[in-house]
Structure 1
């Protein structure tokens, strides 16, 4: 079964390769997207990350009202602590985060998505995570969202690389056994997921940049309690993200 699914994925990847390098449709012309690259350790990803073939039905909506800035709600519950649905795949657009209707295994061959959410994991489309070239830089400690107005030439942008050369998943105690993704520093764990307030800058495949902060993993009130006390009341509304983000000039 898995081999048949993977053959379908490879076919999708081949079709994607033929489409790369063309401008994106839309009201404003965009730079050509990067060329697709084969995903290393793709078969191992299916098992290690529990990559599924059921497309996520999690809701995505914009909750922000500040001009030029977004505060996006993403339902990443995937029907429970043992996921029954794929990651929720999305793309950054001038109108907000847009859903990409793709399942986990097909996403390994798709350049249509930028960022994906499930439970407490966030992945971007690059390296061992997908065939695109989305890269992430973490700004220095203490950086605030409002203070980031341009890309700093000293920032180091990195693609996803949570597998060793022999395709063993790289994880750790701080990640609760999940892959060490480039955006994994948005939380710290002390009996609940407290937000670090870290600010990330994401370089998209078309060369644009997005500044990003994950502000909530739980519902707003439980998240505040977790951040302040290290404990979270129930029900907590876990895996319902709020992400603050904006395009940089």
Structure 2
């Protein structure tokens, strides 16, 4: 009889403790979100001709990249695209769009022809994206209709035509724009127009990245801010102008 009472008491105590235990189970550790898939690398058409036409070098750029803006949800990036002067001695400055801003990619011009790590490249007044005849990735660009403002672009329009870099003919002859100063006609080349200086057009572009995200982008300055304003208004630029020190306004789209 005593043995039965002892067992009954233990069972009652166990049930009471279980009922009083209000602690929550330990949460499962969260796994970091998987990175969105990026396109596979593809061979660069006219690569040898591109090395000559764009003077692609093997010295990595030392040009500075920094964020200057404070607008929530926007980036205002300074890019030192001087590359050693009007006769470049350094490669393009290569970069990638990230949630923290435009991040440098340490690669030289000729190595970049085989790299999918970069999205965009700057040197002097030339800006290229990584696709087509420019690189092995699949970055594509759409130019919004004339008169479109940066603030008015809230989402991707299904009517926009996204294209990859294609500044060579089928026979690998370079295609130069009317106002390109002899350089290949890149997808972002419409950011400037030339008279006696490089005036900004205010054109807004949308860039589709390799992982499917979209970025809206406007190049606001080729010169330092004050000389750029003078150039835009008068067609002349005072010296020193701070040429090839580019400012880019950009933001991710939903």
TM-score norm. by structure 1 comes to 0.89
Unaligned 5+ segments in structure 2 are none
Displacement of 1:20 in angstroms is 54
- Following TM superposition, the consecutive aligned residue runs of length 4 or more in structure 1 with deviations greater than 2 angstroms are 1-25, 27-30
CA distance in 1, matches of 2:239, 2:8: 42
Q: Secondary structure at the match of 1:174?
A: coil
Give aligned pairs, total: 248
CA distance in 1, matches of 2:10, 2:48: 11
Task: State the Cα RMSD in Å.
Answer: 19.0
CA distance in 2, matches of 1:53, 1:91: 19
Please list the CA deviations of residues 63-97 of structure 1 after superposition, one character each: whole Å capped at 9, or x if unmatched. 00011100000000001000000000000000000
Change in Cα spacing, 1:61 to 1:15, as seen in structure 2 (3 Å) is farther
**1:230-249 → structure 2 map (5 Å cutoff):** 230-249=235-254
CA distance in 1, matches of 2:7, 2:173: 22
Please list the CA deviations of residues 184-235 of structure 1 after superposition, one character each: whole Å capped at 9, or x if unmatched. 0000001000000000000000000000000000000000000000000000
CA distance in 1, matches of 2:10, 2:130: 16
- Radius of gyration: which is bigger? 2
TM-score norm. by structure 2 comes to 0.87
2:130 alignment partner in structure 1: 125
Displacement of 1:31 in angstroms is 1.6
Q: Secondary structure at the match of 2:115?
A: coil
Whether the 8 Å CA contact 1:21–1:35 is kept in 2: the answer is no
Change in Cα spacing, 1:18 to 1:36, as seen in structure 2 (3 Å) is farther
Change in Cα spacing, 1:44 to 1:146, as seen in structure 2 (3 Å) is same
Displacement of 1:29 in angstroms is 3.2
Unaligned 5+ segments in structure 1 are none
CA distance in 1, matches of 2:66, 2:77: 6
Which of residues 174, 182, 191 in structure 2 aligns to 1:177? 182
Whether the 8 Å CA contact 1:21–1:34 is kept in 2: the answer is no
Change in Cα spacing, 1:216 to 1:62, as seen in structure 2 (3 Å) is same
Displacement of 1:12 in angstroms is 71
Displacement of 1:6 in angstroms is 86
